Amino acid sequence: MALSQQVEESLKEAQGNLRNALAFSARNEKPFVSKQISDMIMNIESIIAFDAMSDKIEDILKNKNDDGSNGPSIFGFGGMM
Nearest residue to 14 via CA among 49, 44, 52, 36: 44
Q: Does residue 3 contact residue 50 with C-beta atoms inside 8 Å?
A: no
**pLDDT at residue number 72:** 57
**pLDDT at residue number 81:** 43
The helix (H) or strand (E) run that includes residue 53 is: helix 31-67
Partners of 78 in the β-ladder? 72
Q: How far is CA 73 from the centre of its chain?
A: 22
**pLDDT at residue number 17:** 98
**pLDDT at residue number 60:** 87
DSSP 75: T
Average pLDDT, integer, range 9-30? 97
Count the neighbouring beta carbons within 10 Å of the beta carbon of residue 8.
15
